[in-house]
Amino acid sequence: MHLLIAWRNLWAKSLQSLLTVAVVTSALCLTLVVMQLAAGIQNGLVRATEPFDLIVGSKGSPNQLVLNTVFLQDTPIGNIDYTIVQELRNNPLVRAAIPVGFGDNYRGYRIVGTEPAVFAHQAKPGQPSWLRVAQGQIFSAPFEAVIGVKTARETGLKIGDQFVSSHGITGGEAHADKKFTVVGILQPVQGPYDQAILVSLESLWDMHSHHDHEQEAAQEDEHGHDHEQGSVGEEGETTAILVKPQGYGEALRLYQQFQKDSRAQIVFPSQVVVQLFSALGEAEKVLSVIGYAVMAMTLLIVVFSLYWSALSRSRDRAVLRALGAGRRDLFGIILAEGVILMLGGILPGSIAGYALFNAIAGALQQKTAIVMASSFGAVEVYTIGAVLLAGILASLAPALHNARTSVAPHL
């Protein structure tokens, strides 16, 4: 009975009730978006680095090496000799060494030159392979390509289609005489390689060797030709090497070995991400403060909105008292109104918050290739619970006030 009367009271003043619900919805939506973004960015970076235990690359910035190899962002530092791959495979500290080469693209999607061993690579022992084919097969010959699920979706490429790559990281001169054939499409990996195009390393060697010879012939009367920084050139080069050590102790020993190597550097991608978090520590603190501030504002808005809404119905309560309703009945009706308003704001607020987060995450993924998955954990449960509790407490004050106030002045 209390719920029915409460519902009819709210319906009788629908505009006021809708305004209260809208305030709760907006406040909760903003709170959830801020909290989800803070957690999503961190989790997305960590998830992307999981398949990369160690990376060997040209001397230079470790951050740039990780951004290029793991996140398919930025430009490659340079190339290293393929003999380093062979040395690593003969090293007892190493379980696997897989070359990855860059330098070409198709409509802005990075072409990654590698070897079939990458399809057997596991992020962690006992887990399925990191890159698994959903349709077709892995490449087994030059100029065969396996494309990421996002690449397939956004370019429209399918099994059997052919395409021409362009020189460079974005845009660039097309290799019109060399066509790739799509032979496989990867399962989603929830990371940057969803938008990659994997081909054999020999394919990049072939194209860039041919490209360099043409450039040299065209510029033989000029000052010479400088090969584009970081793109795989002559046969026997690669941009980076994905290294799987035998264990953590072996990884540390391997790291020490490369400190004396003048040809290349070795980095722990996870450490680079941790350093990035440290560098962004102040920004992360600011985001956390904003999250807590928004949460506090949400609770205050909810309290004042419900308190104002309840007090504005004092005359309605007086009429109910005059008709014989007891103080306990009024208390229950006011509390029921508060709960209805809160639930009416929490449900759309939660849906809107996650919808807005997914929209922002999708836009950021386009720019950064970092996948930020939405989650519903303890923090979100506590947030929603705190909002609901604040609403109930806000309803108690006017409920007690109405129970103790004389009805005569309101009639």
Q: Which of 40, 50, 42 is nearest to 128 (CA)?
A: 50
Using a 10 angstrom Cβ sphere, with 0-12 exposed, 13-18 middle and 19 or more buried, the burial of residue 385 is exposed
Average pLDDT, the chain: 82
More confident residue, 337 or 357: 357
Confidence at 224, pLDDT banded by 50, 70, 90: very low
More confident residue, 4 or 139: 139
Contact 170, 222 (CB under 8 A): no
Question: What digits encode the pLDDT tens for the residues 152-211?
Answer: 999 999 999 999 988 776 655 666 678 999 999 999 998 899 999 999 999 998 887 655
| Averaged pLDDT, 60-67 | 93
State how far the Cα of 265 lies from the Cα of 259, in Å rounded to an integer. Answer: 7
Q: Please list the helix, strand and coil fractions of the chain in percent, rounded to the nearest 5, in that order.
A: 55, 15, 30
Give the DSSP letter of residue 249: H
The whole-number pLDDT of residue 215 equals: 47
pLDDT at 294 over 90: no
State how far the Cα of 19 lies from the Cα of 15, in Å rounded to an integer. Answer: 6
Range of weakest confidence among 37-51, 165-179, 355-369: 165-179
| Averaged pLDDT, 312-331 | 66
More confident residue, 9 or 410: 9
Question: What digits encode the pLDDT tens for the residues 87-110?
Answer: 999 999 999 999 999 988 999 899
Q: Which of 135, 139, 240 is nearest to 180 (CA)?
A: 139
The whole-number pLDDT of residue 93 equals: 96
Share of the chain above pLDDT 90, in %: 40
The whole-number pLDDT of residue 356 equals: 93
Question: What digits encode the pLDDT tens for the residues 105-163?
Answer: 999 899 999 999 999 999 888 889 999 999 999 999 999 999 999 999 999 999 999 99
At position 210, the amino acid (one-letter code) is: H
Adjacent-strand bridge partners of 106: 109
The whole-number pLDDT of residue 228 equals: 47
Q: What are the residue boundaries of the structural domains of the chain, listed by start?
A: 2-46+281-410, 54-267
